[in-house]
Structure formats: structure tokens, C-alpha cells
Structure 1
Amino acid sequence: MWKEFRTFIARGNVLDLAVGVIIGAAFGTITKSLTDDLIMPVVGWLFGGFDFSSYFVRLGEIPAEYKGSLTDYAALKAAGVPLFGFGQFVTVVINFLILAFMIFLLVRFANRVLRHEDPAPADAPEPADIALLREIRDELKSRNGAA
């Protein structure tokens, strides 16, 4: 069984997947910082201090021993207060859209860089439709040249 497991792990697809997951997690951290530290503050500033994470609805009672702010989503959540955090959800959705767009741009760039069209071998037969078009072109050239 150990040998089978070692063979399974040594396959290229598993290693590629592991690298992808690790890079994806790091990329997710970068995107979270981009969203939380750069984009959301600008959005908040543009909308007059609008902070998505501070929009929530309390669904339960606040514990008697809680002494923090009643508008601090993270503190209330840590205290165990049931919250409907739609503002935090909006932040996560924006974070996802930014991440998806960045991955789209990365894949698009990689496809352009890595795209290489293999030229057809010189001894490969020409497709019939290309040969027919070539004959038509040559015939039109000869008619126009003779006129």
C-alpha cells in the first residue's frame, strides 16, 4: 500500500494540484489585503465613510458580560451574538470578484505568452480547400495580368 501511495503522490497531476492550492492560498491572501486595505477604504471614502462590514442585523441578545461597542461586527461576533452580516458578505463577494478577475487576467496573459502555433511540417499534404482557394487566386491573377 505504501508503494501505491508513493506512486500516487509522485504523479504530476497531484503535485501540480498541491502547488496550485498553495499558490492559490497565497494569492487569496494578497487579494484579501488588496480588497480590505486598498479598495474598500477608497469605496468607503467615495461613499462618505461607507463601511460594508459595519452593516449587520443583530438576531439575538447581547451577553450581559459584553462591554464592547454595539456597532463592532467582529467584537459582537466574537462574543457569540448571532448576526446577519450582509455587509461582510458584500465585502467577501467583492473580494471574490476581484480574485476571479485577477485570475482571468493571469490566465489570459499566460495563454498569450505560452501560445505557440506549431507550423505545419513542410512535407504535410495541403488541405483540399486551401489548394482550391490557391488555384482560384492564381487563376484570377493570371486573368487580371492578361487583361
Structure 2
Amino acid sequence: MSGKEKEIAYWGYKFEQYMTSVDGKQPPDTNEALNNNEAYFSVVQSDINDHSLMYSGEVDCCIDDVQLQPPSNYVELKTYKVFDPTVEREDYKFKRYKLSRWWAQSYLLGIQRIFVGFRDENGIVQDVKNYQTSELPEQAKDKKVKLKRWDII
């Protein structure tokens, strides 16, 4: 990765640190050094016809709610640059490249919510939006540009 790519990755890890805490009750400790080597993984088994698949993926955090059981309480955290959705090219790139990847990553693990921190060019989060994984294909539909990636969903 280039120096800029490493910096952007750091911003993502820092966003995760700001959005999570150790026990879900205490405020996040944003002064603690980042450790991106720690992670939680979910192991999932799925069946397709006569084939059984087992795979795993990283889970960023979970919501502490006794009414929600895994994986319904799992949450994915992402960052993306602030963009103007009225600018066709920027809107297209977000829908084509980000929403489809986020959907695939989250859907396969049963993650129902994705929180996105929209950051400026200095890595400062300006806004946080909550996306429902199941709604991403509908949100990505674009009347001007046919997004073939979503045709199978």
C-alpha cells in the first residue's frame, strides 16, 4: 500500500475505535493505541442444494441488545469519503463499487446493519449513516446507469 492508502486504512481503524467499546457500556477509549491485529470472526454454514459451505468473516462489533441474537446483532463499520450524490459520477462509484462490496461482505455473514462514517480529505468523519444490508440492492438501483452487478439479487 502507498503511504496515502495506509493513512486511509488507519482512519478506518480509528473510526472503529470511536464507534466501539470493550463492553458496550463504557465510552470508547480513543486514546488507547490502535491494535488492528485483534478481530472477531463469525463462522457460518450455508447449504446450496446438496452442497454444504462453511466460511468465516470478520465482524466489527455487535449491538448489546438481549432481543437480538447473533448474527442479527452484528454490525459492520465502514468509512467512505464525503461525496455529492447529485454528481452523477460520484454517485455511480459509490453505488457500483462500495454498496455492492459492503452488501456481499455483510449479507453472507448475516450482518443486518452497516454504519458508514463519511469522512473529509483529512480523515475527519463529518456524518454517520446507518444502512440496512437488505436494502442496499434497492438503494443502488440507478435509472441512468444500469448496474448489472445487482441484477442477480
TM-score (structure 2 length as normaliser):
0.18
Asked which structure has the greater CA Rg, the reply is 1
TM-score (structure 1 length as normaliser):
0.19
